[in-house]
């Protein structure tokens, strides 16, 4: 990849994580690039209508052009239309949040959701962010389908993250993480509590392709006060049956079909 293309993508990714916007100096600092270089990149992106500037506050934000491209891609692939009713049924059964994400290469990215909670706390993480593999049920059950060596490589590549950004029980070493992965392998699903976020729970089970390989993960997530150990035990059966339904539906959507058949794609319902 050319240096310019790499820098443009870094600017877009940084702004995608900052919906409130960032100033030129803030972008320069976070990207560790000269102010003059960032200014030129922003000028090109504004010319193509991917970025706008708030003249009063001096902050740069993404326009809706980038999200619209993603939505157009998902719509053309049929993934949301096919999966949404499945997500809605599991959300209604569980009374909690169900998420759908595409795994492109070695990352899980949120793309759709169904909210089952009608009152009280509603767990609803941001769309478009990568899943942290080491402290989410989605990540742990996905890693459980790989060798320990591959699992450690993927976590090392992404990093454990800063402890203050996650829950108090989030693992920060492989010595802590590997037993969780082994437990997930043995029982066929993963659960987390106080890990991805404080006082939050999640559970996940794999979705298998026709050849038996794991190409997808299905997740239910919600507050620990509702999604207790006992409640998660009750939801294991509907979680697994919904994962099977999602696998069957993969033949209808071109994108889901690629995810379930190709080596570099997968689909996950994630926290």
What top-level class would CATH report for the domain 69-268? alpha beta
Query: Which residues have C-beta within 8 Å of that of residue 109, sequence separation ≥ 6?
Result: 101, 102, 103, 128, 129, 130, 131
What's the whole-number average pLDDT of the chain?
83
How large is the average pLDDT for residues 100-125? 70
Q: What tokens were used for 29?
A: 């600092």
Q: What tokens were used for 215?
A: 């190409």
**What are the distances in angstroms from CA 113 to CA 86, 100, 102, 216, 270?**
10, 6, 12, 15, 9
Single out the residue of 259, 158, 270, 253 nearest to residue 217, CA to CA: 270
- State pLDDT tens for residues 222-248: 999 999 999 999 999 999 999 888 877
What top-level class would CATH report for the domain 3-63? mainly alpha
Q: Which of 113-127, 178-192, 195-209 has the least mean pLDDT?
A: 113-127
Predicted confidence (pLDDT) at residue 148 exceeds the cutoff of 90:
yes
- Entry pTM: 0.70
Check residues 47 and 261 and name the one with the higher pLDDT.
Answer: 47
- Alpha-carbon gap, residue 121 to 222, rounded angstroms: 8
Q: Measured between alpha carbons, how far apart are the two ends of the chain, in Å?
A: 32
Q: What tokens were used for 96?
A: 């909690």
Q: Which of 35-49, 231-245, 248-262 has the least mean pLDDT?
A: 248-262
- Domain spans in the chain, listed from the N-terminal domain onward: 3-63, 69-268
State the pLDDT at residue 240: 95
Single out the residue of 14, 4, 72 nearest to residue 44, CA to CA: 4
Rg (the chain; Cα; Å):
20
Query: Which residues have C-beta within 8 Å of that of residue 49, sequence separation ≥ 6?
Result: 63, 65
- Alpha-carbon gap, residue 56 to 58, rounded angstroms: 6
């Amino acid at each position: 990849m050319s240096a310019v293309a790499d820098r443009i993508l870094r600017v877009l990714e940084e702004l995608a994580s900052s919906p409130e916007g960032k100033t030129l100096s803030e972008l320069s600092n976070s990207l560790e690039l000269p102010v003059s270089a960032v200014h030129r990149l922003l000028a090109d992106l504004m010319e193509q209508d991917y970025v706008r500037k708030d003249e009063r506050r001096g902050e740069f934000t993404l326009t809706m052009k980038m999200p619209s491209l993603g939505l157009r891609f998902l719509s053309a692939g049929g993934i949301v239309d096919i999966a949404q009713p499945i997500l809605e049924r599991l959300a209604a059964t569980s009374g909690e949040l169900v998420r759908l994400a595409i795994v492109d290469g070695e990352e899980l990215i949120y793309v759709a959701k169904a909210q089952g909670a009608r009152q009280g706390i509603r767990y609803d993480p941001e769309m478009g962010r990568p899943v942290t593999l080491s402290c989410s049920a989605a990540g742990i059950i996905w890693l459980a389908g790989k060798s320990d060596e591959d699992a450690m490589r993927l976590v090392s590549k992404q990093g454990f993250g800063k402890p203050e950004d996650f829950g108090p029980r989030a693992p920060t070493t492989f010595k802590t993480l590997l037993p969780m992965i082994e437990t997930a392998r043995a029982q066929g699903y993963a659960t987390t509590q106080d890990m991805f976020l404080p006082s939050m729970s999640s559970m996940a089970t794999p979705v298998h392709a026709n050849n038996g390989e794991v190409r997808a993960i299905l997740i239910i997530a919600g507050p620990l006060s509702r999604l207790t150990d006992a409640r998660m035990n009750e939801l294991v059966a509907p979680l697994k049956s919904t994962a099977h339904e999602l696998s069957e539906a993969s033949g209808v959507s071109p994108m889901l079909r690629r995810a379930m058949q190709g080596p570099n794609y997968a689909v996950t319902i994630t926290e």
